[in-house]
């Protein structure tokens, strides 16, 4: 992830503000707030300025994913070269959904909030959509999960962990 974040910061940073680079990184799948906080640390954006940018960038796609991803996937499956990728993505999300479906709200919150590979708001929103969770609960769980992930990553990205150890 570090090399991808560095590429974005170096490439986009030439053309747009550091804050907008962080916002874009935070809104992207896989990178999300984890990558945004790492980028903001690299770009020397103060943590109190970085956190709202990362959170907003990360939560912005959530309602759209929950509402529209199933329709988008149906449409993409009609395109031959996309079909296998979409099916693999759905398969991976369904495998991860076991962890979420048992506790639904809390399971989704923890799934989104613990910054591990293939977890986060994008995958959590996809799982919520596939499980047909109540949209309000799903959005709230994802939002709170993003806040949890942001807190955890703030400690790691800004070296705040050293203050407590």
Residue spans per domain, the chain:
2-59+151-164, 62-148
List for the chain the helix, strand, coil content (%; round to 5).
Answer: 80, 0, 20
Which residues, other chains included, contact 36 with Cβ-Cβ below 8 Å and sequence gap of 6+? Answer: 22, 23, 25, 26, 50, 53, 54, 57, 58
User: Under a CB-based contact definition with an 8 Å cutoff, are residues 142 and 62 in contact?
Assistant: yes
Which residues, other chains included, contact 7 with Cβ-Cβ below 8 Å and sequence gap of 6+? Answer: none
Provide the 3-class DSSP secondary structure of residue 119: coil
Q: Give the pLDDT confidence of 19-54 residue by residue, as tens digits.
A: 999 999 999 998 999 899 989 988 999 989 999 999
Q: Which two tokens stand for residue 58?
A: 């990360």
User: Under a CB-based contact definition with an 8 Å cutoff, are residues 160 and 46 in contact?
Assistant: no
- What pLDDT is recorded for position 138? 95
Q: Give the pLDDT confidence of 127-143 residue by residue, as tens digits.
A: 999 889 999 999 999 99
Query: How is residue 132 annotated by DSSP?
Result: T
């Amino acid at each position: 992830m570090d090399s991808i974040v560095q590429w974005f910061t170096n490439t986009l940073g030439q053309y747009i503000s550091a804050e907008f680079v962080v916002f874009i990184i935070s809104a992207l799948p896989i990178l999300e707030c984890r990558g945004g906080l790492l980028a903001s640390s690299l770009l020397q954006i103060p943590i109190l300025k970085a956190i709202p940018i990362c959170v907003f960038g990360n939560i912005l796609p959530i309602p759209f994913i929950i509402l529209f991803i199933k329709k988008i996937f149906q449409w993409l499956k009609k395109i031959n070269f996309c079909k296998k990728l979409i099916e693999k993505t759905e398969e991976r999300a369904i495998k991860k959904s076991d962890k979420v479906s048992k506790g639904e709200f809390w399971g989704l919150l923890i799934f989104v909030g613990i910054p591990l590979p293939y977890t986060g708001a994008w995958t959590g929103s996809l799982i919520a959509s596939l499980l047909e969770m109540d949209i309000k609960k799903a959005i709230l769980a994802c939002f709170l999960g993003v806040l949890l992930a942001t807190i955890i990553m703030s400690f790691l990205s800004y070296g705040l962990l050293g203050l407590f150890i």
